Copies of this chain bind each other. A is one copy, B any other.
Amino acid sequence: MATMAAIVAPFSFSSLLYSSPSSQTSCSFIQRPRFSFSCRASLSSPPQHGGPTGFMDFPYVSAPHKALMVDLVSTVESRLGSLLNPCSLPPDVQSYQNETGTAHAALHLRSGVQSSQIDFILGSWLHCELPSGGALNITSLSAYLNSSTDAPNLLVELIQSTPTSIVLILDLPHRKELVLNPEYLKTFYEDTQLDQHRQHLQKLSEVTPYFSSSLYIRSVVSPTAILVRIETEQLEEMIETHVTPIAKQVLKTWLDVCAFGERVVGESDRVYLKKRDEMSKKKTIEIDLGSSLPRLFGEETAKRVLEALREVF
């Protein structure tokens, strides 16, 4: 899991590239590169749209979407506080774009201090113009724990490819096998009543289940994962009324039960957790690196972003 969010917006690329046919109509262009990829993007090239470009500015998304992301990131950083090191990514990895300025992304990564249970938190946004005239906007926040605990990670992602639809991915991905560890399932998923949020969304007529066609990603998410497509003319209201309170509640559960929960992890479990995290990271990099990041931003930028991230992984 450690690099699930490494490649700018992990589930986004994976989900969109490998999504089921009905889910990828408006984003299928990503699989057929239409940009110039001899990328020389850096902060010295101002974005075509002007305006702020920092991670916390979320400059391309709607007000409620931005408010949600700012709230989640602020809450995580406030609660974790001194457990986090400052972001040390190079400026041209904190923000980067393609040569023509049609694709633009930001990254925010803070590792946990040595004594903490935090491996790192990673926030990102991605904007790219669509040939149709619209834009794809992805924002994400992930948090990864280290092997001193076996508690689940955190994954929040919003993927908007049309003005009237958004894919929401909201989960605490498990870090132990659930069939073999029903007490783990009980502690983190049943006792926390996480499924009530999925059930709430499922009842809304605007919401349909979303299936990533990457079977690996389907394996990574937990049984209470929210993977839904929301389609409505009132998308901003839907984000304010339904998505925001649920995302805040899931984050609260992660902070209270996972990030600050105390778990006894034996040596063999630590070995297992490290092995599982590494495998997940390797597999995710395979999925993501071979595909959309180079296509959107060019090989050079993709390589630079990944190398910078690898230093802290």
Contacts and interface: CB of A to CB of B under 8 A. Distances in A.
Interface of A: 1, 20-22, 177-180, 182, 185, 189-190, 195, 198-199, 202-203, 209, 211, 213, 215-216, 218-220, 223-224, 275-276, 279-280, 283
Contacts of A190: 215
19 contacts: A20-B199, A20-B202, A21-B199, A21-B203, A22-B203, A177-B177, A177-B180, A177-B276, A178-B216, A179-B220, A179-B276, A179-B279, A180-B275, A180-B279, A182-B216, A189-B215, A195-B215, A198-B211, A202-B211
**Nearest 8 pairs between A and B by C-beta?**
A218-B223, A178-B219, A215-B223, A177-B177, A209-B209, A180-B276, A182-B283, A219-B223
A223 B18 CA distance: 14
Nearest to A173: B179
Instruction: Work out how many copies of this chain go into the complex.
Output: 2
Contacts of A216: 178-179, 182, 185
Q: Which interface residue of A177, A190, A195, A279 has the most chain B CB atoms within 10 A?
A: A177
A13 B275 CA distance: 37
Contacts of A213: 195, 199
A52 to B, nearest CB: 38
A188 to B, nearest CB: 10
Given A20-B202, A185-B215, A190-B215, 13 more contacts: A20-B199, A22-B202, A22-B203, A177-B276, A178-B215, A179-B220, A179-B276, A182-B279, A182-B283, A185-B216, A189-B215, A198-B211, A199-B213
A291 to B, nearest CB: 16
A22 B195 CA distance: 14
